Amino acid sequence: MAENDRLIEVKDLRVSFFTPAGEVKAVDGISYSLGYNEVMGVVGESGSGKSVEAYSIIGLLQSPGRVVGGSITFEGEDLLAYTPEQMRQFRGNKVSMIFQNPMTCLNPVYTIGNQLTEALTCHDKGISKQDARARAIRMLELVGINNAEKRMDQYPHEFSGGMRQRAMIAMALICRPKLLIADEPTTALDVTIQAQILELMKRLQHEEKTSIIFITHNLGVVAEICDRVSVMYAGKIVEQGAVNDIFYSPAHPYTKGLLASMPRLDEDSHERLIPIEGTPIDLLNPPKGCNFAPRCKECRKICLHQKPPFADFGNGHVSACWLHFMDRARANDTAKGASANA
């Protein structure tokens, strides 16, 4: 990717939470960049740091969390150097976010219309009330809410779960941000509603040319909507690449394990699931070597002592695992074998 194609670039970002029990490195040196009009999926289990990473982009990290290193550059500007006032202008205008649970994010005592127009008037002081209202109605129609005029004057509790999430999306997109961060936007929804929302997000992304960082633990959703995928484990990106590379030729043992452990609707035989044994590591006492080593089937001696560097498979497909370096040819074969089996 050329320098000017990048919307946002994160370099060696480190975020720690300073708890009474000690420092928790929730995000431990992750780097990636996102181009214009691109959808990147961030996959990981709870505690892998996927949400923390997103919160630090938009400046919503809560104490005791703090960015302790690295840089976030948005269209050439250093976001970490922004003052709180600059950040407030930036948030909602250039970047906005939708959350997992729309009920806790909408204010129950204001009407939907009120909350939608507030986002507009905050960022565009010159806009008249009528214009703001008209645009809010158009936005509600765009996200597929019928009777938008009437719905504007209703309160969040009068909306169903799917409609609340639509209203959240409308609110996030009303200032035409360049980047939308979606933190598990469909996890609280039923599959049929999830399908509607994903369809909507794909359509809007296409029409508005918004880049999206899509955080989820559902690999099916990632396969559905994302162009590229970052797989996170215990605060680190373990594998990153185009969506087809990740799903058809996964390289990292964790990614392979995740894909193998999922029951699939499209497979014929009843095969026993192959789980990833063990539990995620305690981030208060991270291991010296690879974070995944304690659960890895292919763990070698070096994995216990040294963090693995990234191996490059071309086309932006990278994976951090010692196996790739020990016997590169053999590792390539297994990757091919895995994709042939899939």
Partner 1 sequence: MPENQKLIEIENLRKYFPVNRGSLFARRQYVQAVESVSFSIYRGETLGIVGESGCGKSTLGRAIIRLHEPTSGKIVYDGQTIYDSQAKIAVPMLPYRRKMQIIFQDPSASLDPRMTVGEIVGEALDIHKLCSGKAERRDRINALLDEVGLNTEHANRFPHEFSGGQQQRVGIARALAVNPEFIVCDEPISALDVSIQSQVVNMLEDLQQQIGLTYLFIAHDISVVRHISNRIGVMYLGNLVELAESYELCNRPIHPYTQTLLSAVPLPDPEKNKTRQRILLEGDIPSPINPPTGCRFHTRCPYAMERCKQDVPQLKEYGAGHFAACHRLEERW
**Measured between alpha carbons, how far is 166 from 321 in angstroms, rounded to an integer?**
40
Name the burial class of residue 319, with classes exposed (0-12), middle (13-18) and buried (19+) by CB atoms within 10 angstroms of its CB: buried
Please state, in angstroms and rounded to a whole number, the distance separating the CA atoms of residues 11 and 143: 34
Among 98, 139, 169, 258, binds partner 1 (CB under 8 A): 258
Nearest CB to partner 1, comparing residues 91 and 256: 256
Return the closest-CA partner of residue 24 out of 60, 68, 89: 68
Contact flags string 82-101 toward partner 1, x per CB under 8 A: --------------------
> Is residue 215 a contact partner of residue 181, using CB atoms and an 8 Å limit?
yes
The stretch near partner 1 (CB under 8 A) out of 27-35, 110-118, 184-192, 310-318 is 184-192
CB of residue 196 to partner 1, shortest distance in Å: 6
Query: Which window, 57-65, 87-95, 243-251, 308-316, contacts partner 1 (CB under 8 A)?
Result: 243-251
Q: Distance between CA 39 and CA 37 in Å, rounded?
A: 7
Q: How far is the CB of 253 from partner 1 (least distance, A)?
A: 12
Total residues binding partner 1 (CB under 8 A): 45
Distance CA 268, CA 95 (A): 43
Which of 38, 183, 224, 239 is the binder for partner 1 (CB under 8 A)?
224
Within residues 278-317, the interface with partner 1 by CB under 8 A covers 279-280
Q: Is 160 in the site for partner 1 (CB under 8 A)?
A: yes
DSSP state of 189: S
Nearest to 50 by CA among 211, 225, 230, 239: 230
**Residue of 55, 336, 330, 19 whose CA lies nearest to 213:** 55
Question: At its nearest, how many Å lie between partner 1 and the CB of residue 211?
Answer: 19
Segment lying near partner 1 (by CB under 8 A), choices 131-139, 195-203, 306-314, 316-324: 195-203
Interface with partner 1 by CB under 8 A: which residues? Answer: 45-46, 160-163, 190-196, 198-199, 217-224, 243-244, 247, 257-259, 261-266, 268, 270, 272-277, 279-280
